[in-house]
Amino acid sequence: MDPAALAFAQEDPEALAVSLSGDWRRANNPPEASAVEERLANSPQVRRIVLSTESLTGWDSMLLTFLIGVRSLASRNNVTVHEMNLPEGVKRLLALASATRERTLVKPTAPRVPIVERVGESALAFWRSLLDMTDFLGHIVVALVRLVRGTAAFRRSDLLLVVQQCGAQALPIVSLISILIGLILAFIAAIQLKLFGAQIFVASIVGVGMVRALAPIMTAIILAGRTGASFAAQLGTMQVNEEIDALRTLGISPMEFLVLPRMLALFLMMPLLCLYADFMGMLGGLMIGASMLDLTVMQYCTKTRESVQLNDVWVGLISAAVFGVLVALSGCMRGMQCGRSAAAVGDATTSAVVTSIVSIVVAMAVITAVCHVLDV
């Protein structure tokens, strides 16, 4: 391949002859229009540029951008350009490129916004998102009323499918996390309690800690990541594919058809998973108790039964049910609010997990305060 080259000649002080030669393709790194600009700056009396391309052996977009560049710098400097013997294809492409067929709607560039205005805007956006949330909750209540009346349109098989996905299929990860939490809790407690010879109280700490707080909150966080995110991604993709619009135009409320079964499933499954996590956590505690603290299995179980009250179990299970509803609502809400692009689905999923976790923690605080007041 011949290298791409640019040669200048100036017989007449007003005319600059530029000849292009060689293979003017990307692989050859052809010269840029700035080379002509430099030359032009050195000879300010030039009024005409005569481009000749007879000795070109090949070209691609690089030649086109070069020519466009020369044209624009010529018009900036009040110089005329004479293009001699351009290859036929180049001529046609240049004509095509300069014919603007689409009305150019210039995108308004975002002006610099003062910080006060930005703070105000984000406060308003936060307020709007609260309104959206309230609106969504309102629709859910309407759907629930219809469910109670027995007129809600959703398929039982959908409910069972979601129950399976968020219940049975979550057991392995819930087991793993709960056993480990129980183990860690027992291990930390054991080190301290051993100093006082009060090893047996490890059973109480693990029992009460798991049943009352850790099992529900850990299960909820696992399900927020596992199930809430999947709800948001699924509903978001359905939004992108216009599947939700298809439901609406058929007169089927997506709230009843999509959101209700998911919410019911999590409402039912979370307490069960939480109960399971309670036992798994105690099992983890027992492992430490039996291996490190020389407690017998019998001793550990008896102490656990003594210290865990039925009220503790109820508080845990009720929190779990509340968290389940929150996770389902966050996931479904972000999915339903999703925009119509791949990036929006990603945002919806992120936002679903964040919303779930924030609402879980807030709910936990409220439940703890209420329990304190009621003295349970």
Partner 1 sequence: MNPVEPHVAVQDLTVAYGDTVILRDLTFTINRGDIFIIMGASGGGKSTLLRSMVGLLPPAAGHVLYDGHSLWSMDTEEQSRILRRFGVLYQGGALWSSLTLAENVALPLQQYTTLGPRQIKDIVSLKLSLVGLSGFEDHLPSEISGGMKKRAALARAMALDPDVLFFDEPSAGLDPISAHLLDELILELRDSLRATVVVVTHELASIFAIGNNSVFLDADTRTMTAAGDPRTLLSESRDPKVINFLTRGAGIVDKAQRRTSLDRGARP
Of the candidates 7, 340, 354, 365, which one interacts with partner 1 according to CB under 8 A?
A: 340
Angle at 358 (CA atoms; ends 356, 361), nearest 5 degrees? 105
CA atoms of 238 and 338, how far apart (whole Å)? 9
Write the CB contacts of 177 (distance below 8 Å, at least 6 apart in sequence). 218, 222, 277
Q: Give the per-residue contact string, 173-202, with partner 1 (x = CB under 8 A; - = no).
A: ------------------------------
Contact stretch for partner 1 (CB under 8 A) within 46-54, 103-111, 156-164, 258-266: 103-111
CB nearer partner 1, residue 26 or residue 248: 26
By CB under 8 A, residue 99 contacts partner 1: yes
- Class of residue 88 by CB neighbours under 10 A (exposed 0-12, middle 13-18, buried 19+): exposed
302, β-bridge pairs: none
Contact stretch for partner 1 (CB under 8 A) within 106-114, 125-133, 301-309, 350-358: 106-114
CB nearer partner 1, residue 42 or residue 109: 109
- Site size toward partner 1, by CB under 8 A: 34
Contact stretch for partner 1 (CB under 8 A) within 78-86, 91-99, 210-218, 264-272: 91-99
CB nearer partner 1, residue 26 or residue 82: 26
Of the candidates 107, 112, 156, 372, which one interacts with partner 1 according to CB under 8 A?
A: 107
By CB under 8 A, residue 343 contacts partner 1: yes
Chain positions contacting partner 1, by CB under 8 A: 25-26, 29, 32, 60-62, 64-65, 68-69, 88-90, 92-93, 96-102, 104-107, 109, 339-344
